[in-house]
Amino acid sequence: MLPPIPQGLVPVTVQQDPVKPRPDIQPVVPAQESEANSQVRLENKQRQDEQGRRKRRQAEDDEDQELELLEDPHQPGKKPMSRKGLLVNLKV
């Protein structure tokens, strides 16, 4: 059997620990986005969106021009076929 714990020995608990002083220098935290940075980011995003729209419009215009060239004027209702590599010019 174990001997009894003397009453003079009080167990140390968290509540009895001395209060730690706060350091003068605050801990480092992640940088917060300032309003000036958010405006720059928004302007860049708008510029990129506009460039994307221009590229899409240009691609659509190019595609429309190709379809007009492939379309047969004698059969306007028919779906145009790609003639790339099908026609060969022969001189007799």
What confidence tens digit (pLDDT) does each residue in 5-27 have? Answer: 777 776 656 566 677 788 788 77
CA-nearest of 87, 64, 67, 88 to 78 is 67
Report the pLDDT averaged over residues 25-30.
78
Average pLDDT, the chain: 73
Q: What are the extents of the domains in the chain?
A: 38-63
Higher pLDDT, 44 or 85: 44
Total-model pTM: 0.33
Report the pLDDT averaged over residues 70-87.
62
